[in-house]
Amino acid sequence: MEDHPWFRLAEVCGSEASVGKTLAERTGAGADQFSSATQGLELQALDGPWTSSILLSALPSEAAQKSEVQLAEAGHLVVSNASSHRMGELVPLLIPEVNSHHLDLVGHQPWKGALVTNPNCAAVGLVVALAPLHETFGIESVVTTSFQSISGAGLPGPPAASLVDNVIPFIGGEEHKLTCEPQKILGTVTPEGVEPATFPVSASCTRVPVLDGHLLAVSVALTGKPSVEDVTAAFEAYRGPDACRDLPSAPEHVLQVLAADDRPQPRLDRDLGQGMTVSVGRIRRCEVLDSKFFVLSHNLVRGAAGAALLNAELCHAQGVLGSG
């Protein structure tokens, strides 16, 4: 948020134990990344009062379930990274370069303000890769396995010893998100909400000893069984809707094809587009379905903070603002 052309950080929230302390006190050694004004912001209680028109929420899911609706009812635009309301019928689940038109749903929401969400940190990379394939050919089914970084578990994360010389083949609740969020994002807006895309997704999620970046192996069945060359061309041509081109946080390329046989790799490619570009590689024929590839996204940027900020920018550009 420092030096953002449209927004400034004006208010911050903390746990009950943090209320009244400054942001610098709570972030410790990381405070030097903030301006002196930001460092001096005092953390306030979740129940406010809040004066900002736009509130960025990274609340735990249980707290978000109730509080985000209350904040929207009070007139704020709530841009949420929490999972609580992602599948709500009238709540947009947004990736601006994929489904910016889903923002139309807020006009049907019952609150004085509005609530929008961004996807799960692994689903976002998957969907950015699926979008050009669904648009160009039509997707019939998807099978994916994720290799998700340590940072995706939050703090303090899994015990270090459990990830040394190891892969954990389970992440609680994650596979469900990968099997239902893509269809909503790639669905069709109706007056009653979103009619999801009909293709099934089978997902297996793992935690791997990588600091940042979620890598997914993806196999897809596509209508018409297009060639590898046609699939690659669809990836390379994808730009997304015009509505997001001039947003400050939007990368030059939302999706970048990497030609080398051993890419994408988290350490080498997660920071493309300042962490906002999704990379895809190893595009080839699938022996079971039609095509398969690897896709990589930065889970803390494109999959979390950067996603929420980009959604806030889209709302601002489209005139969807809270009253504060």
Active-site residue identified among 13, 121, 205, 315: 121
121 annotated active-site: yes
Neighbouring residues of 19: CB distance < 8 A, sequence distance ≥ 6: 43, 44, 45
d(CA 84, CA 66): 9
* DSSP code string of 194-239: EE-----EEEEEEE-S-SS-EEEEEEEEETT---HHHHHHHHHH--
Contact 74, 80 (CB under 8 A): no
Closest CA to 318 of 87, 120, 52, 114: 114
Is the Cβ–Cβ distance between 114 and 320 less than 8 Å? yes
- List the structure tokens of 175: 């596979």
Rounded Cα distance between 27 and 55, Å, is 20
Degrees, nearest 5: CA angle 177-297-232: 100
Task: Name the residue among 235, 234, 224, 222 with its Cα closest to residue 140.
Answer: 222
Question: Any catalytic annotation for residue 315?
Answer: no
Among 157, 59, 68, CA closest to 109: 68
Q: Measure the CA–CA gap between 119 and 93, rounded to whole angstroms.
A: 6
One-letter amino acid at 112 equals K
Tokens of 68: 């985000």
CA–CA distances in Å: residue 96 to residues 72, 272, 320? 21, 18, 14
Give the 3-state secondary structure of residue 5: coil
Query: Which one from 214, 244, 253, 298 is the annotated catalytic residue?
Result: 214
Catalytic residues: 121, 214
